Amino acid sequence: MALSPDQITRFLKSVHPYDALPVEELADIAARIEAREIAKGTVIYHRGTRLPGLFIIYEGQVEITDENGAVVSHLGLRNSFGERGLMRDGRAVTTATADAPSVLLIIPSDLFSDLLKRHVVVAKFFNRARPARPEQQSLATTRVETLMARKPATCTPETSVQDAACLMRDRGISSVCITQRGALRGIATVRDLSGKVVAGALPPTTPVSQIMTPDPLTLSPGDIGSDVLHAMLERGIGHIPITEGGRLVGIVTQTDLTRFQAVSSAELVGRIAQAGSATEMAAVTAEIPNLLVQLVAAGNRHEIVTRLITDIADAATRRLLALAERDLGPAPVPYLWLACGSQGRQEQTGVSDQDNCLMLDDSVTDADLPYFEALAKFVSDGLDSCGYFHCPGDMMATNPRWRQPVRVWRDYFNGWIAKPNPEAQMLASVMFDLRPIGGRFELFSDLQAETLRAARANSIFVAHMISNSLKHTPPLGLLRGIATIRSGEHRNTLDLKHNGVVPVVDLGRIYSLQGELTGVNTRARLKAAEAAGVLSPSGARDLLDAYDLIAETRLNHQVKQIRNGDKPDNYLAPSELSDFERSHLRDAFVVVKTMQSAVGHGKGMLG
């Protein structure tokens, strides 16, 4: 499988810890990575052989066995392996075999070693010797000296803007500090070059002193991260030089803050992976609200925030599966744990229950079923103790209906498609968001492809699914107003989940069905629908913008509640928004309603 550097770069952006590295460096890493196709059953390396580098699973599944042939783990998408040997003497300490046709990315050994040395986030991610419970990191408790990049790029006031631009280009940075006899005189950024030099048609020989920001705001190494963030937000700047005794010692950028937040999420994942019980995991997941606040405050986009939050739920689920097998013994037959709902779509926020199911290999017998009943209860109860509450609709693997062999699941989907009654529509909507979390991923891949083909081919089923998707409508009133809930506990508020995010989620699912698209994340579905011609470029652009605004309004509302010490929810009073914010939110709802209308009239591509 030939992968371009751009494809590899995009993939690395979704994988810890590479998502915390500068974009420019990711491109350099991607250019040195080898993509290798591996057939099912192929031994990737034997224990004791020299490793060519670190392996990352791009597609497929890999089984890791120890020196006695015992299975250590089954690894899937985005998992790494081989790092233990690389960090010792370069020789494999396990044997790796492809459990399914796979595509692996290989980071060369020398590059992996270099990343470990140069990036704290990479070293922390792969260092198995870190403390069992590292201190919680937050901008409110982290000193600037921890965040800042040392030895910032500098030039003199007489340096030409062309030379300053070349310096930034060559070092892959977005600013340069101007110094004179050791004292900081100013700072020039890429924005200054574009807005003052290019837009102002200044000659390339212009001294950088003419376009720099003189005497910029500075902080000291002893200040805290919150000081940096607040100053950036208040002044609308993205770079703050750090000085000590009048001497320039570093610089902090928005990228540094974002990287710090990613490290924090990785720390939670790492602690969960080492937890010995659900109780230990609950102490980690209790920190998610603070992490949510940090991620949003750092200016991360909603899809990044929800992805990082969901990664923690995924890690907790996989750890609970491992702990269940530790207590119950190995599974009698292969199985696959899948998530649906917001976890399935990788869209979890500060409010999440659990929606999951189990697919069992068709070789399962009645005698095996008590094992999986116990496994489902262990994991589901563990998730509940971690704050992922039991689903009110009992859409969980603890329900025997959602703990079945693959052949039964195939019958479920075929039945829902053949007879799309209201219950079938509801269940199909939920199950089309399934995403494998732990176990044998191949149990689902063929079933997913078959189901999408069958569903798309049944025009009656598609029509029913479209009708079902239109039951959640944006809260629009008359005369360009926003309609609030009229009665009950949440009177005079907007339900940003069921009347805001869910209508777009439903549209994404319909587009995915029409295009036989396998992704489940809503934003990814909309982009894939555009690429497949299911959704027009203009329709995709408008709907993505609308979705982003609604989703980020929801996140900001929850963060405000957390900061106030309240439990986050999805109910926002329009009075909390400015006139400007209400107007734009209303416009976003109009876009969603328009797209719903187009789908309802069979014009999904014309939006």
Q: What is the pTM of this model?
A: 0.59
CA 287 from chain centre, in angstroms, equals 18
- Which CATH number is correct for 265-452, 3.30.460.10, 1.10.10.10, 3.50.50.60, 3.40.250.10? 3.30.460.10
- Beta-carbon contacts of residue 477 (< 8 Å; ≥ 6 apart): 483
Contact assessment for residue 20 and residue 121, using Cβ atoms and an 8 Å cutoff: yes
Residue 146 has a pLDDT of 72
The DSSP code sequence of 150-212 is ES--EE-TTSBHHHHHHHHHHHT-SEEEEEETTEEEEEEEHHHIIIIIITTT--TTSBGGGTS
Residues of the chain with CATH 1.20.120: 472-601
Residue ranges, CATH 3.10.580.10, the chain: 139-261
At residue 129, the pLDDT reads: 40
Centre a 10 Å sphere on the Cβ of residue 176 and count the other Cβ atoms it contains.
28
Could you report the per-residue pLDDT of 456-480, keeping only the tens digit for each? 889 899 888 888 888 888 998 754 4
Question: What's the pLDDT score for residue 42?
Answer: 95
Q: Give the residue among 471, 459, 456 at the shortest CA–CA distance from 422.
A: 471
Q: Considering just the CA atoms, what is the radius of gyration of the chain in Å?
A: 26
| Tokens 């001497």 -> residue | 247
* Cα dihedral 416→418→421→422 (10° resolution): 40
CATH 3.10.580.10 is the classification of domain 139-261: yes
Mean pLDDT by 10 residues, the chain (607 residues): 87 88 90 94 94 94 74 74 86 90 95 91 67 48 80 95 96 94 92 94 96 93 86 88 90 83 72 92 90 78 89 93 96 96 91 92 97 98 95 94 96 91 84 91 88 89 87 74 88 94 94 87 92 89 92 93 87 88 84 85 52
3-state secondary structure of 322: helix
Which DSSP string do the residues of 434-447 spell out, in sequence order? -EEEEE-THHHHHH
Which residues are CB-contacts of 334 (< 8 A; sequence separation ≥ 6)? 360, 361, 439, 440, 443
Instruction: Please name the helix (run of DSSP H) or strand (run of DSSP E) that holds residue 35, with its range, or none.
Output: strand 34-38
| The CATH number fitting domain 5-126, selected from 1.10.10.60, 2.60.120.10, 3.40.50.1950, 3.40.190.120 | 2.60.120.10
Residue 266's SS3 state is helix
For residue 275, which of 382, 387, 393 has the smallest C-alpha distance?
Answer: 382
CATH no. of 472-601:
1.20.120
Pinpoint the residues of the chain covered by CATH 3.30.460.10.
265-452
